[in-house]
Structure 1
Amino acid sequence: MQGITRWIGNEGILRDVSLSLHAGQSCAITGPSGSGKSTLLNLIGLLDQPCRGRLVLDGCDMMHATADQRAITRNRLLGFVFQSFNLLPRLSILDNVALPLSYRGVGLASARQAATLQLEKVGLAHRARNRPADLSGGQRQRVAIARALVTGPRILLADEPTGNLDCETAQAIIELLCRLNREQGMTLLMVTHDPAMAQRMQRRLLVRDGGVFDA
């Protein structure tokens, strides 16, 4: 991104931010509450639009992309993990993970096969028939990670992925994210308020006073 500015009302949350991320890099986004950490992640994830500047993903300038173009790029390039899991309670774990593939027109059998492989990677293939309410918070976050990975994203965006978890479970989730980053060469960008979690990343960014700085 180059010269990115995002205003909310009369307040400049991010002002003239320029940032480059290398493929395969793990990076923490840190900073005070309300500083714009999630706003930065949402801009990179094409969930929000900058007011000014240039935003390039995978060589394509997304600044003036249509809503359909942004949706296609999100589905092709990006995976998302949120603090609140965002699993659909009426669907099985397997079908929650398979859901993003349905947006690509993948058939149910193939989508479930791909979802099973991702559940195996996060150690939950044996809970495929359960529903989210049957799982612990840490298990639900593992399901959310499997769902984010089922489309084969090149960039994984995680917004406080351990915020609702106890310390032991949070450590296990970070271990999983770091392993996936190493083994799959997937770029990992994570918002966190926890300095210990941030230290696990190869690069740390500090969002403060409308700017983004290497910490």
Structure 2
Amino acid sequence: MNFPDQQSQHIIFLLGITRAYPAGTTLHTILNNVSLSVPAGQSCAIVGTSGSGKSTHINIIGLLDKPTSGQVFLAGENMSLVSEDARAKVRNQVIGFVFQGFNLLPRLNVLDNVALPLLYRGFSRTIARQKAQLLLERVGLSERLYHRPADLSGGQRQRVAIARALVGEPELLLADEPTGNLDHDTAEDIVALLLSLNDKFGTTLVIVTHDEKIADRMERCIRVRDGRVAEDRYAPR
């Protein structure tokens, strides 16, 4: 099932999304009938206090979680109607993930950490490593290819995570508090890198953050409160 024609340019389209979890004999609602769309190529922040539902938004968009009700469209496809294998394929080929905790494999060097998603796709090790090296050069880590994550600073680890997220050339990059473990100056560098990649390659960027200064640097800011979209504003031009 595809988007209607008027929505064909939106890489993300959420329709009536509710997410509730059992809490004793009742249900605790995290998201409450949320509908929103994000056009291809946009940079967008989702902001809110702890427990507001912002991370649940990105988990549902990234197909890491399923809504209790409602429909999720990604790149024109209704993900509510596809199999688990199809969802996994979209996660691998359409979406790149950047997490606060980096999620790098400690036993692999930087080059092989970045190459790993391509190996899952069936690329040869040689081709995967070549593509990984190009991405690492773009994020300024050409001299760290054979270091392990433990030998890197927090900012360098996050750059590795960004390279890994981008190595498969995803249409959509999801970043969940990517600067949460970084000092101020390093966080600024990481946000600048993400925005430069968004600008240069047109990759749609959705970043969950509690930092208002980071949110202000995006084209759009969606504020979540009590499981609903409380504000949806665009940066002045």
Amino acid at match of 1:214: D
Amino acid at match of 1:163: G
Equivalence for 2:117: 100
Report the Cα distance in structure 2 between the residues aligned to 1:16 and 1:65, rounded to whole angstroms.
21
The answer as to 2:21 corresponding to 1:4 is no
Runs (4+) of structure 1 moved beyond 6 Å? none
In the TM superposition, what are the counterparts of 1:191-202 in structure 2 within 5 Å?
A: 191-202=208-219
Report the Cα distance in structure 1 between the residues aligned to 2:32 and 2:127, rounded to whole angstroms.
44
Report the Cα distance in structure 1 between the residues aligned to 2:106 and 2:139, rounded to whole angstroms.
20
Equivalence for 2:232: 214
2:163 pairs with one of 146, 153, 161: 146
Amino acid at match of 1:160: E
Report the Cα distance in structure 2 between the residues aligned to 1:33 and 1:211, rounded to whole angstroms.
14
2:152 pairs with one of 135, 155, 169: 135
How many matched pairs?
A: 215
SS of residue paired to 1:127: coil
Amino acid at match of 2:153: S
In the TM superposition, what are the counterparts of 1:49-198 in structure 2 within 5 Å?
A: 49-198=66-215
Name the % identity. 61
TM-score normalised per structure 2: 0.90
Report the Cα distance in structure 2 between the residues aligned to 1:187 and 1:6, rounded to whole angstroms.
24
Task: Tell which deviates more after alignment, 4-13 or 182-191.
Answer: 4-13
Report the Cα distance in structure 1 between the residues aligned to 2:171 and 2:197, rounded to whole angstroms.
11
More strand per residue: 2
Amino acid at match of 1:137: G
Deviation at 1:64, TM superposition (A): 2.9
Deviation at 1:138, TM superposition (A): 0.2
Superposed CA RMSD in Å reads 0.7
SS of residue paired to 1:20: strand
Gaps of 5+ in 1: none
